[in-house]
Structure 1
Amino acid sequence: MPAAPHVGGLADVVFDHARSDPGRVALGRKDEEGHWHDVTSAGFRDEVLALAKGLLAHGVRFGDRVAIMSRTRYEWTLFDFALWSVGARPVPVYPTSSAEQVHWILHDAEVSACLVEHGDHAMTVGSVIDRLPRLDRLWQLDAGALEELFAAGAGLDDETVHRHRRAVTPDSVATVIYTSGTTGRPKGCVLTHSHFMFETDTVLAHWEPVFRGAPGDEASTLLFLPLSHVFGRMIEVAAIRGRVKLGHQPIMRASELLPDLAAFRPSFVLAVPYIFEKLYHAARRKAETEGRAAVFDKAVEVAVRYAEAVEQRVFGLGPGPSAGLRMRHRFFDKAVYGKVRAALGGRVGHAMSGGSAMDRRLGLFLAGAGVSVYEGYGLTESCAAATANPPGLARYGTVGQPIPGTSVRIAADGEVWLRGGQVFAGYLDDPGATRAVLRDGWLATGDLGALDEDGYLTITGRKKEILVTSGGKSVAPMALEERVRTHPLVAQCIVVGNDRPYIAALVTVDPEAVEHWLAIRGRPRLPPVELVRDRDLEQEIRRAVVAANTAVSQAESIRTFRILAHPFSEEDGLLTPSLKLKRRAIEEAYSVEVDALYR
């Protein structure tokens, strides 16, 4: 386990790396024409220093909180390390946040300055600026913010920045990241430089196959997760600290992401399960369009069986893949699996997944296709990962073992508790909420889970999401929802039934998948109002529900469901920025449809 840091802050490595290896390529940066350019350690250090001087010239001081509202792009990382160089504290804001959400975070964090990406963000902040008396500086990236700040700081001495940087200690606050607000108003999690150092150095040391790359082949990652989320932020810091080439991609649509994966060619990627599911379903739709669906399905079956046999051998439960299975696996590696890897850029051998549960079968398929997925679990309050599947010892369907230096225990009511050097210092100016989750050094997560005999954790639900039917049956909805969602046509599923006689569900469909499904059957596109009444589609969704019900008792099973015309979205207030369901908001928005399920 990495030793606890005694001195310094997160920005120090930028200057250390530039001094020890100035010509090493540290980042990739895409220009406005879409071309990628290398940024060396020395080049990044120079920009961080120039920006830090500009921030000081504009009045940013040690301990100030500065909001960043942007998509994932190079400039965010530049601002993070420049702010840390002067002892300031970045406060991330999701770029899709509403005016009221922006007001709450900027007001609660008492930010003195704010960086936004473009004019729409500036207008959002501007609409509430009269209620933010402490906010006196607003910069806009796409309106020349960098050039303005570089010019402002040109007359300052470098030593001015270094004096601020040397005053930063591991216990200094690094950032305040607000929770997604699934169960109420977002709370600001206070995370120190030490929390990020412990977390990232532990991950770098113990997941070395991921972050070091093959001999003679540099490790690199294209970050497309939002930097406003703790997972993306942790990887940003880990890449800089671990000398991993880092690129940024602000758009997670396949049409934008896939060309950049091909151009950047990362050695590993980080994503939420939703991204891996989209990749899988897109690959199968392509195969079906080409008349090769049967071949693809056979390849999937072989990959799953192969990965499962490897998993059993690792845990001493079997001899590993048979000679025949190995031969079939080699055949499909050229015919199918290589194309899956090519879609990720051709170099990806590892992936890390978090944010929600990944279907075991999907994890096995990816492993069998040559991409080892390390699923993990953590919260904003734990600075991202508290558990993860270790290299070479992945147990698919679980979120792994506690990372070194972290302890996990299951409370009497099934709640997961965590303790370790990455557990946060508390909620900003909210001692009551802090006391509610920090108990004698343990973080009470609010999640329900179970540990197996080897210490692998499985998350089974959220305490606050447990449904209790009018008959007194307690039901954890997450497992049912995830199983329904494995169907290629399903986008989202929310299980309802609190104080009702039985369990039911609202289901949304993936428009792209449905369009393909109709085309394969020679049917025209259907408007949403007709689609939800389509008998063939209803039968497909019914199959997904019946399959999900086989894993639970009759009292816990979904008795009926309703297909909705439109997927839940963040824009309509029904998803958090990290794509989690806002259950209360959904049930209120669709109260008529929910009531109809019980007539």
Structure 2
Amino acid sequence: MTIKRLFDCLEHQLNRFPKSDMLAAKENGQWTTYSTERVVDIVNKFSAGLIELGVSARDITPESSDKIAIISNNRPEWIFTDLAAQQIGAILVPVYPTTSPLELEFILNDAAVQYLFVSNAELLEKAKAVAAKVPSIKAIYTFDKIEGAKHWSEVTALANDALLQKVNEVKATIPVSHLATIIYTSGTTGTPKGVMLSHRNIYSNVQFSKESFPFNDAPDSKVLSFLPLNHIFEKTVTYIYLYSGISIYYAESLETIGDNLREIKPDGFTTVPRLLEKVFERIMSKGNELTGLKRKLFFWAVDLAEKYDNLKSGGLWYNIQLAIANKLIFSKWREALGGNVSFIVTGGAACQVKLLRIFNAAKIPVFEGYGPTENSPVISVNRQAKGLTKFGTVGPVINGVKLKLEEDGEICVAGPSVMEGYYKRPDLTAEAVIDGWLHTGDIGILEDGKFLKITDRKKELFKTSGGKYVAPQPIENKLKESPFIEQIMVVGSERKFVGALIVPSFLTLKEWMKEKGITYTTNEDAIHHPRVLELYRELVESYNTFFNHVEQIKKFELLPQEWTIDTGEMTPKMSLKRKVVMEKFKSAIERIYA
């Protein structure tokens, strides 16, 4: 494979499959499309404007190259900024819009960011408050037009023929070893770490993922993008799309995903399990509203789908029933996703096997993959080819990635997509990458000799006071299969037994209370009702049978509110911040062990 720079996707697409809708977004309620030619023109002018502002690669060391930060939702301007910075050797530092002011201040100072691009008025205020404590910042630009603020078009307006010529000259000198980005990890623990990823790192992962999954060149297809571009998963997938000629449409927000899917009818999208769970909950709540024969048919179809196994035929009678269920029930699910979806790739956390069975049975193909930021990120993914998907695993390792499992089961990988290191932290780099092998901190096994299965996070394994090790993730994933459980965190480190904090699915619980003639007033009152507590005790007991004695949940506490990004218990990629939950709900945990 000839390694290229990420920004070479512009020339690649222009030469092979120029499009009228390379990128698209809703502007004033209408979809606005950007052709390949227009994107190339905008990006070149943007690069020229940045040169005029004094931005450059200086030389090729990460410390000396200029940094540009971006705090924005997904939109075409995000990609323009990324490509414009890359073309002149500047390094993009993407920051989650939900990052706390303290973390934001740390990141901007650590990277010595010079120019900051933000999407809207709210983020502008946040950035201005922090920028006062970041001496390196020269200016803040906005993507929305905001009175009194510098608009990003002021940068492109600086371009002239001489500067555009300069862009071409600089572009030709950028080596594939140059850093494309520094991505600060969302910091589930401690201070954020800046993961340094070069063009070689990300491009090799793009191409190996493209051929392994596979993503074929498909100039007639389109995708919906809504996972934050700040995360390496969506960024890498974006370059897979750009190198494959697939059009990218940006969702307006997480709330409008359903509407946007129906409007653009995409061929696919990437997601995280938490969003799939939300989709399924909405489907089930609609099912609960049905009555009579329609209700019976709905739940018959769902029960049937739960038994689906893609590697083993259920037999003639099962297949006939499933075909009927697909025609009568699941066809409506597919329509709700636009009616055209041929792939959904999920990553970032473990996906419930039950959901994978149900969606795939419903001809909504969901493929689970895996990989950390430090590997640019993909290590493995379930495939579109027959026999290369196994539910409950993260699929075969992709081409170009070497895998080894340590004695304790830790997953280690080597190859061109392993990061250059942590920015300014050679000590942490030396701990994570040993003799070229990235130590992921995840524990796994190989099933059937080829399917990688993640069994837990090394750091999340805990020991009870009796000296027995417990892996919380498999227990949590099993209990989340219950329609009554929205979220759960297993606790018990250095304690006598395993306990759990449980956030009920209040939609399902309210429905159950209504059926039982119990008045619902508030979430707080509901979780203290004796019959509700009895329901959850029986539920936990029924799931305990799947685990050995030491792993069984002996006591639990119900909590009245969902854990979210805004309230601080979830990372921006919707992983649980265990330390935050432990601290925030310390009194509830103490009641478990009182």
Q: Normalised by the shorter chain, which TM-score bucket?
A: over 0.9
2:352 touches 2:480 (CA, 8 Å); kept in 1? Answer: no
Q: Does 1:55 align with 2:57?
A: no
- In the TM superposition, residue 54 of structure 1 has moved relative to its aligned partner by 2.1
Matched, 1:131 2:133: yes
Query: In 2, distance between residues paired with 1:272 and 1:196?
Result: 20
Q: Deviations over 1:442-465 (max 9, x none)?
A: 111111111123221111111111
2:318 is the alignment partner of 1:322: no
Aligned to 2:349: 356
Could you say which residue in structure 2 is the equivalent of 1:232? 234
2:187 pairs with 1:194: no
Q: Could you tell me how far 1:516 is from its partner in structure 2? A: 5.2
TM-score by length of 1: 0.92
Amino acid at match of 2:110: D
Contact 1:351–1:374, Cα closer than 8 Å, also in 2: yes
Note if 1:257 corresponds to 2:252: no
- Unmatched tracts of structure 2, length 5 or more: 58-64
2:166 counterpart residue number = 160
Does structure 2 conserve the Cα–Cα contact (< 8 Å) formed by 1:303 and 1:329? yes
2:379 is matched with 386
Aligned pairs for 1:54-203 (under 5 A) are 54-62=49-57, 63-143=65-145, 145-154=151-160, 156-203=162-209
Question: Counterpart of 2:298?
Answer: 296
User: Alpha-carbon deviation of 1:333?
Assistant: 1.1
Contact 2:51 2:163 in 1 (8 A): no
Query: How far apart are 1:247 and its partner, in Å?
Result: 1.1
Residues 284 and 200 of structure 1, relative CA distance in 2, 3 Å threshold? same
Q: Give distance in 1, aligned partners of 2:176 and 2:542.
A: 50
Alpha carbons 1:461, 1:477 under 8 Å: kept: yes
Supply the distance in 2 between the matched residues of 1:195 and 1:540 (Cα, whole angstroms). 50
Kindly provide the CA deviation profile for residues 297-342 of structure 1, in whole angstroms up to 9, marking residues without a partner as x. Answer: 221232343x41x412xxxxxxx34222222122111211111111
- Give the equivalent residue in structure 1 for 2:18: 22
Match of 1:373 in 2: 366
What is the DSSP-based 3-state SS (H/G/I as helix, E as strand, rest coil) of the residue aligned with 2:421? coil
The structure 1 residue matched to 2:250, chosen from 248, 251, 254, is 248
Equivalent pair of 1:289/1:520 in contact (CA under 8 Å): no
Q: Report Cα offsets for 1:59-92 as digits up to 9, x if no partner.
A: 2222311111111222111211111122211111
TM-score by length of 2: 0.93
Match of 2:449 among 446, 454, 465: 454
Cα distance in 1, alignment partners of residues 547 and 565 from structure 2 = 30
Q: Do 1:284 and 1:296's aligned partners in 2 also have CA atoms closer than 8 Å? A: no
Please give the per-residue CA displacement for 1:183-214, whole angstroms capped at 9, x wherever unaligned: 22110000011111111111222223x5556x
Q: Which amino acid aligns with 2:567?
A: D
**2:422 partner SS:** coil
Please give the alpha-carbon distance, in whole angstroms, between the structure 2 residues aligned to 1:227 and 1:48.
Answer: 18
Question: Quick one: which amino acid aligns to residue 467 of structure 1?
Answer: F
| Range with greater deviation from structure 2 (276-285 or 293-302) | 293-302
Find the residue that maps to 1:451 and give its secondary structure: strand
Q: Secondary structure at the match of 2:487?
A: strand
Pair 519,106 (structure 1): closer, same or farther in 2 beyond 3 Å = farther
The verdict on how the C-alpha distance between 1:519 and 1:91 changes in structure 2, with shifts beyond 3 A counting, is farther
Matched, 1:31 2:27: yes
Structure 2 letter corresponding to 1:199: N
Does the 8 A contact of 2:70 with 2:95 survive in 1?
yes
Distance 1:577 1:151, change over 3 A: same
Task: Give the Cα–Cα distance (whole angstroms) in 2 for the partners of residues 251 and 206 of structure 1.
Answer: 30
1:4 and 1:525, CA in 2 relative to 1: closer, same or farther beyond 3 A? farther
Q: Which residue identity lines up with residue 549 of structure 2 in the other structure?
A: Q
Q: CA–CA distance in 1 between the matches of 2:366 and 2:382?
A: 8
Q: Distance in 2 between matches of 1:246 and 1:520?
A: 45
Which runs of no fewer than 5 residues in structure 1 stay unpaired? Answer: 313-319
Matched-pair contact (CA < 8 Å) for 1:211–1:244: no
Post-superposition offset of 1:223: 0.8
SS in 2 for 1:545: helix
1:484 to 476, 479, 482: 479
Contact in 1 for aligned 2:527/2:533 (Cα 8 Å) = yes
The amino acid of 1:354's aligned partner reads G
1:27 partner letter: L
Secondary structure at the counterpart of residue 402 of structure 1 = coil
User: For residue 185 of structure 1, what is the amino acid of its counterpart?
Assistant: T
Report the equivalent of 1:311: 311
Distance 2:514 2:76 in 1: 40
- Structure 1 residues 437 and 24, CA, compared in 2 at 3 Å: closer, same or farther? same
Distance change (3 Å), C-alpha of 1:286 and 1:132: same
* More displaced stretch, 296-305 vs 340-349: 296-305
CA distance in 2, matches of 1:293, 1:440: 59
Contact 1:70 1:94 survives alignment (8 Å): yes
Alignment partner of 1:351: what SS? Answer: strand
* Cα offset, 1:486, TM superposition: 2.1
The offset of 1:541, in angstroms, is 3.2
Q: 1:584 aligns with which of 573, 579, 585?
A: 579
Aligned to 2:273: 273
Secondary structure of the 2:391 match is coil
Superposed CA deviations along residues 257-298 of structure 1, whole A, max 9, x for unmatched, are 101011111101111111111112211211110224432222
Matched, 1:463 2:463: no
Identity %: 28
Change (3 A) 1:501 1:243: same
1:503-541, Cα deviation, whole Å (9 max, x unpaired) = 101111344554555566676652232122133433443
Relative distance call for 1:531 and 1:58 in structure 2 (3 A) is farther
The match for 1:556 is 551
- State whether residues 49 and 157 of structure 2, in contact with CA within 8 Å, keep that contact through their aligned partners in structure 1: yes
Within-5 A mapping of 1:416-455: 416-455=411-450
**Secondary structure, in 3 states, of the residue corresponding to 1:25?**
coil
Provide the C-alpha distance between the structure 2 equivalents of 1:194 and 1:288, rounded to a whole number of angstroms.
50
Tell me whether 1:345 sits opposite 2:338 in the alignment.
yes
- Call closer, same or farther: CA 1:517–1:382 in 2, change over 3 Å: farther
Cα deviation, residue 17, structure 1: 2.1
Change (3 A) 1:534 1:258: same
Q: Aligned partners of 1:430 and 1:188: how far apart in 2?
A: 8
2:400 is matched with 405
Please list, as runs of the form range in 1=range in 2, the aligned pairs for 1:475-554 lying within 5 A after superposition: 475-515=470-510, 525-554=520-549
Whole-Å Cα distance in 1 between the matches of residues 126 and 22 of structure 2? 34
Segment drifting more, 293-302 vs 560-569 = 293-302
Shift in Å, 1:569: 2.5
Distance 1:533 1:367 in 2: 38
Which residue identity is paired with 2:320?
Answer: M
Q: 1:251 to 1:488 in 2, by over 3 A?
A: farther
| Cα distance in 1 for residues equivalent to 2:119 and 2:516 | 44
- Whole-Å Cα distance in 1 between the matches of residues 508 and 27 of structure 2? 33
SS in 2 for 1:22: coil
Amino acid in structure 1 at the alignment position of 2:370: Y
Distance 1:263 1:64 in 2: 40
Cα 1:476/1:529, change in 2 over 3 Å = same
Q: Could you tell me which amino acid in structure 1 is paired with residue 299 of structure 2?
A: D
Contact 2:272 2:573 in 1 (8 A): no
Which amino acid in the other structure matches residue 476 of structure 1? A
- Partners of 1:122 and 1:27 lie apart in 2 by 24
Whole-angstrom distance in 2 between the partners of 1:402 and 1:410: 12
